[in-house]
Structure 1
Amino acid sequence: MFLEGKRALVTGSTSGIGLAIARALAAEGAKVVLNGFGDEAEIAKLCEELGATHSGADLTDVAQVEAMMAEAGEIDILVNNAGMQHVSPVEDFPLDKWDKLVALNLSAVFHCTRLVVPGMKKKGWGRIINTASAHSKVASPFKSAYNATKHGVDGFTKTIALELAEFGVTANCISPGYVWTPLIEGQIPDTMKARGMTREQVINDVLLVKQATKKFVQPEEIGALAAFLCRDEAQNVNGANWSVDGGWTAE
């Protein structure tokens, strides 16, 4: 197990993609700190399963982010995965939703990163992995905040990759297409309303229409890629935005 002795923090990891990444890192020996909301009993089971600890910090609150990072201690692997979505025409986009998406999808990535960098520099080793999206490369209508924040994550990742390259620290994005997670399932009703479609039409004509495979990406595929990016063999993989989208952004 090549991550023995390493400590990983995965945000938004009580379900979906984040949980799959946490499981993949724990399977390689990393001590994992989970973060996210959910049923307390279920989270306790996950901690027992993975030998992990958990922080329920709300990442839209900078003070809570700072408290979580202080409690977690020095982190070798940071996975900025927490995110949310809201679907609405731009002229009707709720201001509170815009602010919350920016705070969680983009600002939290900055805050978590700035707090782990000193320890990584000191050790001369670190991995920063940011969950972006196919929407970090291409846009879709009615998702102005999500598109904006995910493009921002891509640019931020490239910047810190350059800043940290000589310190043994890499930074990369993983950009999934549509993965069957609570985030995707939760946006279907809003998309139905915004586009006047049935559930089946949203799945086939919106979600999967651009994925050449016509299949949802599986969370475990993202977990496997995240684990690879932590290997020594990936030490020169830096500043990259990895598409896992069934061919969506190849067009």
Structure 2
Amino acid sequence: MTASGTPSPHDTPAPSAAVASQAAAPDLAGRTALVTGAASGIGRACALRLAAAGAAVRAVDRDAANLGTLPGEAAALPGPLDTLTLDLTDLDAAEASADGADILVNNAGLQLVRPIEEFPPDVFHTVLTVMLEAPFRLVRGALPHMYRQGWGRIVNISSVHGLRASPYKAAYVAAKHGLEGLSKTAALEGAAHGVTSNCVNPGYVRTPLVERQIADQAKAHGLPQERVLTEVLLKDSAVKRLVEPAEVAEAVAYLCSPAASFVTGASLVLDGGWSAH
């Protein structure tokens, strides 16, 4: 908690602890999963969750230092985990990295909070490259193998901002809306080949990406930083806490499981009631 008694993004509520500690049956043994943005946050949780389910995980990120600590954390899990340091703005390398993946989790992202008239065009371009064009190239690289074997799972980590807009996030909202369309198109094309494609749409998740934007949000809204969480980030959420990365990873694991074979072209919302308004 902060000194004022309001929730802090560093508080860890009890419900997520149970999720993080759940034992995972190895139901993805023999499958290979590629997870982008795997050095921290949602991507790291997804990589560990899929390895816990028995998948051989290829964890991709440009952050070599944090990525390098992941194999040690996964050492006791049923599925092997390897890492690949890669900047997704290298689109050819991104596409090549997805060859042979049975499961693709497009998670990597970045954020900048600015009014449109102040938004740097080069940053807008980079956000769209990493969060929309790179997922397209990764899907393009993964599909031939998935089609050949008649099975595949594409999970795109979207956001409630893939369904709703917020001010000062032109690039992020545009990229996530585009990702929703890409995911649905892949679902329609892949259905005849045993490939599903879905989005997971969390609200604000306890990640470095969210924590870094608090200062920008404070400036954009003219608020002290300690009021951003309750008055901006969680303002429209009925459940007044951040989503935990492990909770998002559980949704991803479900969409990769045999039980979800009929779920495709969907957007699985984990927004604490935000979009119920």
Q: Output the TM-score relative to the length of structure 2.
A: 0.87
| C-alpha displacement of 1:56 | 1.2
For residues 92-128 of structure 1, give each alpha carbon's deviation from its aligned partner in whole angstroms, at most 9, with x where no partner exists: 1101110000001110110000000000000000000
Residue in 2 that maps onto 1:48: 72
Q: Which runs of 4+ in 1 moved over 6 A?
A: none
Q: Following the alignment from structure 1 to structure 2, what is the Cα–Cα distance between the partners of residues 11 and 138?
A: 24
1:6 to 13, 27, 31: 31
- How does 1:1-251 map onto structure 2 within 5 Å? 1-38=26-63, 40=65, 42-50=66-74, 51-69=80-98, 73-251=99-277
* Contact 2:152–2:195 (Cα < 8 Å) also in 1: yes
* Contact 2:108–2:131 (Cα < 8 Å) also in 1: yes
* Contact 2:204–2:243 (Cα < 8 Å) also in 1: yes
- What letter matches 2:48 in structure 1? R
- What letter matches 1:174 in structure 2? V
Report the 3-state secondary structure (helix = DSSP H, G, I; strand = E; otherwise coil) of the residue aligned with 1:141.
coil
Report the 3-state secondary structure (helix = DSSP H, G, I; strand = E; otherwise coil) of the residue aligned with 2:68.
helix
Report the 3-state secondary structure (helix = DSSP H, G, I; strand = E; otherwise coil) of the residue aligned with 1:161.
helix
- What letter matches 1:141 in structure 2? P
For residues 149-180 of structure 1, give each alpha carbon's deviation from its aligned partner in whole angstroms, at most 9, with x where no partner exists: 10111111111100010111000000000001
Q: Following the alignment from structure 2 to structure 1, what is the Cα–Cα distance between the partners of residues 255 and 56?
A: 17
Report the 3-state secondary structure (helix = DSSP H, G, I; strand = E; otherwise coil) of the residue aligned with 1:35.
strand
Q: Following the alignment from structure 1 to structure 2, what is the Cα–Cα distance between the partners of residues 155 and 44?
A: 33
- What letter matches 1:235 in structure 2? S
* Cα RMSD after superposing both structures: 1.1
Report the 3-state secondary structure (helix = DSSP H, G, I; strand = E; otherwise coil) of the residue aligned with 1:211.
coil
**Greater share of residues in helix:** 1
Q: Following the alignment from structure 1 to structure 2, what is the Cα–Cα distance between the partners of residues 184 and 197?
A: 16
Q: Percent identity?
A: 46
Q: Which structure 2 residue ranges, 5 or more long, are not aligned?
A: 1-25, 75-79
Q: Following the alignment from structure 2 to structure 1, what is the Cα–Cα distance between the partners of residues 239 and 57?
A: 33
Q: Following the alignment from structure 1 to structure 2, what is the Cα–Cα distance between the partners of residues 39 and 112?
A: 20
* Contact 2:97–2:138 (Cα < 8 Å) also in 1: no
Q: Following the alignment from structure 2 to structure 1, what is the Cα–Cα distance between the partners of residues 100 and 107?
A: 18
Q: Following the alignment from structure 1 to structure 2, what is the Cα–Cα distance between the partners of residues 165 and 235?
A: 10
| C-alpha displacement of 1:48 | 3.0
